[in-house]
């Protein structure tokens, strides 16, 4: 984490976050037609970079702690932080998470989505659907006075009820003009535990759900995290704001 200081955003700052979040969501929509067999992850990265620049924004991941590309592309057993590569060609039946963070006027729009390449296997389809619903249940747990643990508990209960597991090594995070800041938001945990949610908090909810064991390892490139059993992993991510009455998703296309 770059900063451990909790920042509460004003309504004006949250609108800035929404502008960045909207652009991030539109970028994912723009990239979706490229997600098909025969396309390389580098081609997707390069189009993301071109489109982001054309919209007056720049890509937060590029150069971040030395990360070499503009987006993360995580295929099949890759949990997160996959590096786009000219030799990595999408195959029918793959699943791929694309994680984008354009910066607009200094504010980060952070979102990701797992896509099907061609026709998914039944287990891949179920895993992706359960991961999306897990994220939404985590989001629905957000309101002033709730606890961070309520989010993780909602996600963990739903994912595990379908026989899947929740990655522990990577968590959601505060985001604003800083890419990663307080609070940390685990996607597992106990209801009623953890920091109390307050109006103006803005953070990501981004569960990584595995087909098999939750355990991960990071490859020698220092970024790519994979499942230790080689089974599938899926992820979805939204950036949300705690409102006076509940929750506001900031990474929607319109």
Read off the pLDDT of residues 144-158 as tens digits, 9 standing for 90 and up.
Answer: 999 999 999 999 999
- Res. 179: pLDDT tops 60: yes
Burial 62-72 (b: 16+ CB within 10 A, else e): beeeebebbbb
pTM greater than 0.85: yes
* For range 217-232, the mean pLDDT: 98
Burial class (CB in 10 A: 0-12, 13-18, 19+), 195: middle
Known binding-site residues for substrate equal 81, 180
Q: Which helix (H) or strand (E) holds 31?
A: helix 11-31
Q: What is the structure's pLDDT at 2?
A: 59
CATH of 11-249, one of 3.40.630.180, 3.20.20.70, 3.90.230.10, 1.25.40.340: 3.90.230.10
CB 139 within 8 A of CB 244: no
Known binding-site residues for a divalent metal cation equal 99, 110, 173, 206, 237
Known binding-site residues equal 81, 99, 110, 173, 180, 206, 237
* 1 confidence band (pLDDT: 50, 70, 90): low
Q: Tokens at residue 75, please? A: 């295929």
**Above pLDDT 90, what percent of the chain?**
97
* For range 85-101, the mean pLDDT: 98
Q: What is the structure's pLDDT at 254?
A: 87
Q: Name the nearest CA neighbour of 181 among 12, 60, 55.
A: 60
Q: What is the structure's pLDDT at 139?
A: 98
Which backbone phi and psi does 130 adopt, to 5 degrees? Answer: -65, -35
């Amino acid at each position: 984490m770059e900063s451990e200081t909790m920042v509460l955003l004003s309504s004006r700052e949250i609108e800035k976050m929404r502008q960045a979040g909207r652009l991030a969501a539109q970028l994912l929509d723009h990239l979706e037609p490229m997600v098909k067999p025969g396309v390389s992850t580098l081609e997707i990265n390069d189009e993301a970079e071109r489109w982001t620049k054309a919209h007056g924004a720049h890509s937060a991941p590029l150069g971040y702690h030395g990360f070499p590309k503009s987006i993360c592309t995580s295929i099949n057993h890759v949990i997160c932080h996959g590096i786009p590569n000219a030799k990595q060609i999408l195959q029918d039946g793959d699943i791929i998470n694309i994680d984008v963070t354009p910066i607009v006027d200094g504010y980060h729009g952070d979102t990701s989505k797992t896509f099907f390449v061609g026709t998914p296997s039944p287990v891949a389809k179920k895993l992706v659907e359960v991961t999306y619903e897990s994220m939404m249940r985590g989001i629905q747990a957000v309101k002033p006075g709730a606890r961070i643990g309520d989010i993780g508990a909602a996600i963990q209960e739903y994912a595990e009820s379908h026989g899947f597991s929740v990655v522990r090594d990577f968590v959601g995070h505060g985001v604003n003009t800083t890419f990663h800041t307080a609070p940390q938001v685990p996607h597992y945990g106990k209801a009623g535990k953890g920091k109390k949610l307050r109006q103006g908090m803005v953070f990501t909810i981004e569960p990584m759900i595995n087909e098999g064991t939750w355990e991960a390892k990071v490859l020698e490139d220092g970024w790519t995290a994979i499942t230790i059993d080689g089974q599938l992993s899926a992820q979805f991510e939204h950036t949300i704001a705690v409102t006076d009455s509940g929750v506001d998703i900031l990474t929607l296309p319109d």
